[in-house]
Structure 1
Amino acid sequence: MSLDRANNPFPSLDALTLANPSVGDLESWVDSPAFDANCQMKAQELRKALDRPSDWDDEVSALFSPSDTVASPTATEVNFGVSPLEAAFYYAGLNLKGLWPRLVCRDSPDEFVPPTGPNEYIREMRLEYVSDNHQWGNDRNSVWNQVRDYTAELLIKEKISVSSVDFVTFSILHYAEGRELTPEAEEEAWSDDEVVEDPTEVQDNSDDDEALDKAYAALPVAKKKEEGKREYTDATVWIGILADTLDYARALEMLGRIRSFINNVSSVKVNIAFRESMAQPLVTQALYPPAEFGDYLCEFIDNVSVALSLPIAGRRTDMQGTMGPYFQWKGDLYALTARHNLFLSNDGNTEYIYHPSSPKREVVLMGENAFESYKTAIQVRISNLNDTVRALDLQIAALEQRIRNGINVDEAQAKLTELQAEHLKTKNTIKALKKFFVTLSEKWADLKDRVIGYVVWAPPIACGVGDNKYTVDLCVVKLNKRRFSKFIGNVLSLGPELSETTLKELMYERIDVPSEFKYPKDGLFKLGGMVTADDIENTNSLDGRGDRTRRVLKRGWKTNTTVGNLLRFISFVRKYYISGTLESLELAILPHESQIGPFSRGGDSGAVIVSATGEYVGILTGGTNKGKDGTDITYATLFVYIWALILAKFPGANLYFEDIEAFLATN
């Protein structure tokens, strides 16, 4: 398709100039105005795409049409059911705009006040961890297990399309009445009455790490001040059902039967709620070493480095996922991921074992769409940096003029020196990104150049396996060791998105003992050990309420580094396929209460989830959402179960690499 010159944002450049040149011309092209114009065009296209009205915007407009402006009753008024506004906005805040689930029915006593217009600020909900001392979780045969199993069995028997049964609580942020909230006011600010002293002063500037840890632990934690009042609900049996499959009256009937069962086994007050949701998988050269601090490529290098969480796809599929941990067996290098990342639904669901006489099921680093998006992201970043350079040029010229005129010379000179250093760093970053873009275009563009290994074993996807009824969604990939010549073992790159301070705050909020989480100096988090089912019963951190929780983190292809809360209450999950349904029990992870956005999104399947000390917790298998991107709850299979399967198939397999140089030297 040719470029319409009338709509060309760069009329001095024709379509041939803006188009990518031949490979031989790449090096000169990336240093030309045409390449910068191409980058700017891609940045503008991205901005336009982000500005397009969404389906949610259309839905909200319809809700506030003149015929729907009369306030509707709340769900507690059972004769009327749930109003369209309550169904649409009750769970606002659980995900990004329009991605939170739709309410079907509830019996919680809180009153929902509907907004009067599409732009009115409304209360915001947040998923919370059920307190460790809740009476429903005192033992393995807990009340929760009974309620969960009864609920799932009842709904399946009654032909209800249940997708999940979770045990959570919520907090509701009510904004101050009559207060106009600006975007700036929405940002949380640190409270003035809880200032943390410098622990180095407390310890007389000691360099002893243990002393510093104790000093930090002895200090109060600075709390963030919120605009409004936060109210916490009772624990909730939160039931997901497929969209448009259950009306209010039928949901109310099921709610009543579940309530009767609960009343027979427990006197503890809990709520019950149905929401529309579906459980689904989250798919959508020698590799580089991980980026060092200050590396100009730190924003982009992880996708093509040897650190964990590489973005992968099958060479014959269009699905995108994340590669999990590496292991060694008989001198070769292997990696784990989820089977659904690399097998199509029409591939069947039988055990796959590679045979040398058969074609290889090759695994590539980024599928075609992901690779093109990756290159576009680099060009958009270059365009933004070019804008920064132009702005710095103007500021530098103004300061130089001020110095020539003798105006505030000392202050102007100090600022000029600062801006010149930033200008140089920005130009060097642009130069490095352009060189990286050329390398990608010349040596990684063909799919065959991104092949990193092939599948050797994939058991059939199965749910409800063993006494623990967990999911088996596993695939083993044999890797080409030559592509991993800079391999450094199982390390998780924490990435540049979260600063060291921010990540420490997210991972740990206890003040009674030193933090278990140690931020690595090189940003590479070394993994070792495994969390067991018993460990999950003994949580080791605090959430925003001061309740015990277990913080976990992961790095996925789509969401990068995120921190979440691992629930001790195991969830029931039911997935729907053309061939039938699969049911299992899963670890459930909630988003962190202080981190915006979901814990995982499509493309993160297969990512390893780890503890604050780097222990393997689980492999990410999917999550629940309303059928679009993003999750409210993320699900994972406990890693110790997965590793037991690996050892049965690969006796003597090892996650640890004591002498990496010697290991890589063997063929």
Structure 2
Amino acid sequence: MNLINHAVPDPPANAPYIPSEVEAKHYLYGLPSKARFIARSSLDVWMKPTGAEAYLDPKELTPLGTHRLNEVWEHTVGPVMDGYLLEKQVQCKILHPLRIGIAGQPSPSAFILVGVNHGTLSAELGIEVAVHCRSILLQNNIDDMHVIICESKFTRSAMMYKPAISANPTAIVRKPFSTTLGVPICNAKTPNFEGTGGFFFIDTAKPGILYLLTARHVLFHPDKEENILYKFREGSGQASMKVMLMGEAAFKARCEGIESAINAKEIIIEQLHRRLAVAEEMEDEDDANAERKAVKSKMEEAEEAITAFKKLLADVTRDWTDEENCVIGHVTLSPPIGLDYGDGGFTDDWAVIQIYPSMIARLNFIGNAIDLGSAEVDELTAWMYSHPANPSSFKYPGDRLLRFHGTVSDQEMFRPDPRNKDHDKDPVIMVLKNSNTSNLTVGHMNTIRAFLREYFEGKPGKMSKEVGVFPRNSKSGLFSERGDSGSVVIDAIGRVCGILTGGDGTTDVSDCTFVTSINFLIKRLAAFGIHANIFPLPADL
């Protein structure tokens, strides 16, 4: 932004000062929310750009990372600051430890960002508040952080949603916006090219940071990106590859899904009114009362659901319509796609995304879990029974969330437990996944790997070996569709098998999905120095 014609008065020296109108407007230039700056605790002086091209350098927010504050924030510093702000009647909406710096430059400074309601705090009082909050940091031996106060645009930030309880009528339609597995994602530059986030993990060498693994080809369009190693180097000035929650088609489909849910409940209410009219004509008063009672209960339930659906649609439209609000992280690492890689011969097709704590944090993270709510309990349980005489190890969780519990070894993938048989009495592993396009599906894993070969410009590439997953049966439909790449595949008890990397087939009932083994992926991450823990908990963030 050019500031060559904007006058900025000289600030006082050696003290926090009231910002000019120009500084208040542009101090946090670069942040998507266009937050208005109020005050800060530091003595830093904002320098107006000078010269023939007086342009502002955009700022960006980055994770705090490893810091002494981590040990005292949640139980000491945070509560004390919150108590002080309440006492001063400051309408604070967010206290956010993070780093703020010039976009792309190394070593951004650490701050507590205090967000307040628009028009509720003057710059004079803001300085007093910022300085006092800074004193709380100093009292706890945190001397390398300052406090910045700005106005917040919304009542709450557009964090991804925590999964709703089963009693909430919106539980299923809000699932794509929640932190359960099957997150629809895309490269921010290609929102029409979509895929699915696989699973979350933490790197034990970098505590407090959450990562998401997916297939490389979801984010690096094969026709638009070179097939070379991508490695983001923090502080190098390198532009990051942003990752969005949902592309254009996915967002439109989810909104239409909520609207369809509203329409469905309205149809039910119309029918209930007709049913009530019939009850009024009944000669038997007991029958009429029974009908009225039943209709009243169903009517209240439908009306409650419509109210909840409309609120969700308003929230989703507010939080996620602006693409800038949909950025959930950036790619940190992705090796080139390789075929027949290493001893295992799998396709090497994966990418690591660092998730921003403004999107997923302790508040809304539940660990790695698939929300099973889109299928009825009895229906899904029947799907997971590979043979009527063979009791399944699958048990529908009380909260709908099937959590990770271990991994399936390659040996078992290729040689399933003989006690688990399919309808032909052959050993089988029943698996499921939740994904961007086909949502929750069940299939059975092949007991031998397929050999795959891709052709480039008519020339054959290397042969790769993949684990296949077939549809549950000939009438169940596809296990996966376009847009499902990257999704995680797990067995009946939550053991991880791998991530979906592709498929093959000529008809809707015989397509096969291919999965890259979790064991291979963990080894590949380790080869790049990543000590992946695929069972992260909220307390790890």
TM interval, shorter chain, is 0.5 to 0.7
Question: Where does residue 527 of structure 1 map in the other structure?
Answer: 404
Asked if residue 652 in structure 1 is aligned to residue 528 in structure 2, the reply is: no
216, 219, 240: which one aligns with 1:339:
216
Tell me, in whole angstroms, the C-alpha distance in 1 between the residues paired with 2:242 and 2:421.
44
Displacement of 1:565 after TM fit? 1.0
Shift of 1:620: 0.4
| 1:319 correspondence with 2:204 | no
Question: Structure 2 stretches of 5 or more lacking a match?
Answer: 1-157
Contact 2:169–2:305 under 8 Å retained in 1: yes
Amino acid of the structure 1 residue aligned with 2:430:
R
Does structure 2 conserve the Cα–Cα contact (< 8 Å) formed by 1:323 and 1:337? yes
Aligned to 1:376: 256
Secondary structure class of the residue paired with 1:482: coil
Render the CA deviation track for 1:236-288: whole Å, top value 9, x for unaligned. Answer: xxxxxxxxxxxxxxxxxxxxxxxxxxxxxxxxxxxxxxxxxxxxxxxxx1111
Match of 1:390 in 2: 270
Determine the structure 2 residue equivalent to 1:606: 486
Amino acid at match of 1:590: F
Which one of the candidate residues 472, 475, 489 is aligned to 2:348?
Answer: 472
Q: Is the 8 A contact 1:563 1:595 kept in 2?
A: no
Partner residue of 1:410?
A: 286
Structure 2 match to 1:455: 331
The alpha-carbon distance between structure 1 residues 575 and 295, as it changes in their structure 2 partners (threshold 3 A), is: farther
How many matched pairs? Answer: 372
Partners of 1:323 and 1:336 within 8 A in 2? yes
CA contact (8 A) 1:610 1:617 kept: yes
State the partner residue of 1:425: 301
Q: 1:517 to 1:460 in 2, by over 3 A?
A: same
Decide whether the 8 Å contact of 1:602 with 1:630 is kept in 2.
no
CA shift digits 1:519-559 (9 cap, x unpaired): 21101011021112211213352222333211111111111
CA shift, 1:625, in A, is 3.2
1:557-612: CA deviations, max 9, x gaps?
11121111111121111233448544311101111127621111111111111111
8 Å contact kept, 1:392–1:419: yes
Q: In structure 2, how many angstroms separate the alpha carbons of the residues matched to 1:515 and 1:629? A: 27
CA–CA distance in structure 2, aligned partners of residues 574 and 296 of structure 1: 46
Do the aligned partners of 2:470 and 2:510 also contact (CA within 8 Å) in 1?
Answer: no
Question: Following TM superposition, by how much is the alpha carbon of 1:630 offset from its aligned partner in structure 2, in angstroms?
Answer: 8.2
The reply to whether residue 565 of structure 1 matches residue 444 of structure 2 is yes
Secondary structure of 2:296's match?
helix
Match of 2:202 among 313, 319, 328: 328
Residue of structure 1 aligned with 2:426, choices 527, 547, 555: 547
What is the rounded CA distance, in whole Å, between the counterparts of 1:430 and 1:577 in structure 2? 51
The answer for the alignment partner of 1:352 in structure 2 is 230
2:365 counterpart letter in structure 1? F
Instruction: Decide whether the 8 Å contact of 1:600 with 1:630 is kept in 2.
Output: no
Q: SS of the counterpart of 1:518?
A: coil
Q: How far did 1:339 drift? A: 0.5
Cα pair distance change 1:543/1:594, threshold 3 Å: farther
Residues in 1 aligned to 2:322 and 2:460: alpha-carbon distance in whole angstroms: 38
Q: What amino acid maps onto 1:389 in structure 2?
A: I
Equivalent pair of 2:385/2:391 in contact (CA under 8 Å) = no
Q: How does 1:144-159 map to 2 (within 5 A)?
A: none
Residue 163 (structure 2) aligns with: 290
> Is the CA contact 2:166–2:399 (under 8 Å) kept in the aligned structure 1?
yes
Shift of 1:343: 0.8
State the 1:509 CA deviation: 4.4
Partner of 2:465: 585
Give the match's secondary structure for 2:477.
coil
The Cα shift of 1:352 comes to: 0.2
Distance across 1 between alignment mates of 2:454 and 2:254: 31
Partner of 2:313: 437
Instruction: Give me the whole-angstrom Cα distance separating, in 1, the residues matched to 2:292 and 2:531.
Output: 61
What secondary structure does 1:334 align onto? strand
* Pairing 1:48-197 to 2, within 5 Å after superposition: none
Query: 1: distance between equivalents of 2:456 and 2:330?
Result: 26
AA partner of residue 227 (structure 2): N
Is the Cα–Cα contact under 8 Å of residues 623 and 631 in structure 1 kept in the other structure?
A: no
Report the equivalent of 1:302: 175
Cα pair distance change 1:515/1:548, threshold 3 Å: same
- Name the structure where helix makes up a greater proportion of residues: 1
Find 1:501's aligned residue among 359, 371, 378.
Answer: 378
Q: How much identity, in percent, do the aligned residues show? A: 31
Using the alignment, how far apart are the partners of 2:509 and 2:171 within structure 1?
Answer: 25
Query: Are 1:361 and 2:241 matched, yes or no?
Result: yes
Q: Relative to 1, partners in 2 of residues 1:546 and 1:413: Cα closer, same or farther, differing over 3 Å? A: farther
Q: Secondary structure at the match of 2:330?
A: strand
CA distance in structure 2 between the partners assigned to 1:629 and 1:353 by the alignment: 38
Q: In structure 2, what is the equivalent of residue 488 of structure 1?
A: 366
Q: Is the 8 A contact 2:211 2:354 kept in 1?
A: yes
Quickly say closer, same or farther: Cα 1:444–1:517, change in 2 above 3 A.
same
Deviation at 1:426, TM superposition (A): 1.1
Equivalent-residue separation in structure 2 for 1:608 and 1:544 (angstroms): 25
Which blocks of at least 5 consecutive residues in structure 1 are unaligned?
Answer: 1-284
Go from structure 1 to structure 2 and tell me whether the alpha carbon gap of 1:564 and 1:513 turns closer, same or farther (over 3 Å shift).
closer
What are the Cα deviations for residues 150-195 of structure 1, in whole angstroms up to 9, with x where unaligned? xxxxxxxxxxxxxxxxxxxxxxxxxxxxxxxxxxxxxxxxxxxxxx
> Could you say if the C-alpha distance between residues 588 and 388 of structure 1 is closer, same or farther in structure 2, counting changes exceeding 3 Å?
same
Question: Which of the pair has the greater relative contact order for Cα pairs under 8 Å at 6+ separation?
Answer: 1
Residues 417-453 of structure 1: CA distance to partner in whole angstroms, max 9, x if unpaired?
Answer: 1222111111111111111111111221010111100
Give the equivalent residue in structure 1 for 2:13. none
Q: Does the CA contact (< 8 Å) of 1:508 and 1:541 recur in 2?
A: no
2:520 maps to what in 1? 641
- Give the Cα separation in 2 of the matches to 1:596 and 1:510: 15
Question: Which residue is 2:131 aligned to?
Answer: none
Q: Distance in 2 between matches of 1:377 and 1:513?
A: 37
Counterparts in 2 of 1:370 and 1:538: CA distance versus 1, 3 Å: closer
Question: TM-score if structure 1 supplies the norm length?
Answer: 0.54
- Match of 2:166, SS state, is coil
Distance 1:581 1:446, change over 3 A: farther
